[in-house]
Amino acid sequence: MKYKRILLKLSGEALMGTRQYGIDPERLAEYAQDIKAITDKGVEVAVVIGGGNIFRGVSGASKGMDRVQGDHMGMLATVINGLALQSALENAGIATRLQSAIQINEVAEPFIRRRAMRHLEKGRVVIFGGGTGNPYFTTDSAAVLRAIEIEADVILKGTRVDGIYNTDPEKNIDAVKYDFISFADVLQKGLKVMDTTAFTLSQENNLPIIVFDMNTRGNLLKVISGENIGTTVNI
């Protein structure tokens, strides 16, 4: 395996599957099997999950809601998604711990870095919910922050697109995919990989990002094995 410890970033929208809203149990089960395929090979897996399938603070703020309140709702949405993923992973026979950046002691452990790292060393999957615990920070920022803290080798950003393109491939059939691209080129070309805060944090800490299509079964294992899947962003 090319990577020993990874942080997998999943968007909340990915959990919707074919639905317009909420959580698709079939999609969760597929993700659980894909994650099991790599934990069986000894890879240590941490997961950060978004909340966009339930609520987005930014969209609430655009409709007149207080942004901080909206972001708090979004954080709770990520905990709901984390619980759903934890259940799916445990159904697949994978020991899983959910840690939350906001204290909900009856539902999830508080985020404690050393405890998270011990869980990983013992072969448990750790799901980080609650974003960073602060408003105005996206779950992309949370993913990069947690990846740095747990000393992950790479961030794997699972999306519905198979990498980074020069224009939106869903709108433009002539879009060109990059296999490898530097942090500087992403910024220069104005490509959307993550929000600027998250991306800059990753760049400053020399943490590579791989953007790949998580909805194709088996892709996660291929990425971990070092196959040229998706787009790698590196120095």
- For the record, the structure tokens of 165 come out as 């393109």
Q: What is the DSSP letter of 103?
A: -
Count of domains forming the chain: 1
**Residue 91 in tokens:** 């159904």
What is each CA distance from 90 to 9, 87, 102, 110, 155, in whole angstroms? 19, 5, 23, 20, 23
| Nearby residues of 172 by Cβ (< 8 Å), 6 or more positions away | none
CB 13 within 8 Å of CB 53: yes
Host domain of residue 53: 5-234
Query: Can you give the CATH number for the domain in which 28 is found?
Result: 3.40.1160.10
- pLDDT, tens digit only, all 235 positions of the chain: 899 999 999 999 899 988 889 999 999 999 999 999 999 999 999 999 999 999 988 887 788 889 999 999 999 999 999 999 999 999 999 999 999 999 999 999 999 999 999 999 999 999 999 999 999 999 999 999 999 999 999 999 999 889 999 988 888 889 999 999 999 999 999 998 899 999 999 999 999 999 999 999 999 999 999 999 999 999 8
Tokens for 31?
A: 């993700």
DSSP structural state of residue 14: G
In this structure, the number of other CB atoms found within 10 A of the CB of residue 229 comes to: 23
**CA–CA gap between residue 77 and residue 51 (Å, rounded):** 5
Quote the pTM value.
Answer: 0.95
User: Which tens digit of pLDDT belongs to each residue from 87-132?
Assistant: 999 999 999 999 999 999 999 999 999 999 999 999 999 999 999 9
